[in-house]
């Protein structure tokens, strides 16, 4: 399994680092891959959520896609991923991943 294997669901082993952690533009790593994979899965169900390139880099397009999730969820529209945004994205992803 590769982190770019979009046919496989993101497993429950990816956890958010802490309550105080915030993912911001320019951040990189496995957590960003997970965010991008979930966003693209959510995009497959909700066309208003922009798809993103799966690069492992938290770029402007990823931030814009997160803002769409935040707006729909009535969270502050920062474009950053805090614990509340992560929980919302993960919940949407887990609920709708079987509809692809």
Q: What confidence tens digit (pLDDT) does each residue in 9-33 have?
A: 555 556 888 999 999 999 999 999 9
Of 45 and 36, the one with more pLDDT: 36
Question: Mean of the per-residue pLDDT values for the chain?
Answer: 86
Strand partners of residue 28: 57
Classified as helix, coil or strand, 92 is helix
Q: Is the pLDDT of residue 67 over 70?
A: yes
* pLDDT (mean) for 78-89: 96
Rounded to two decimals, the pTM is 0.83
Mean of the pLDDT values across residues 78-87? 97
Max Cα distance, the chain (Å): 34
């Amino acid at each position: 399994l590769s982190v770019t294997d979009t046919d496989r669901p993101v497993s429950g082993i990816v956890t958010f680092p802490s309550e105080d952690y915030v993912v911001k533009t320019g951040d990189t790593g496995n957590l960003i891959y997970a965010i991008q994979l979930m966003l693209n899965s959510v995009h497959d169900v909700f066309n208003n959520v922009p798809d993103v390139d799966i690069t492992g880099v938290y770029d402007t397009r990823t931030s814009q896609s997160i803002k769409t999730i935040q707006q729909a969820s009535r969270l502050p529209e920062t474009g950053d991923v805090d614990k509340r945004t992560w929980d919302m994205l993960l919940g949407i992803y887990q609920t709708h991943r079987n509809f692809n």
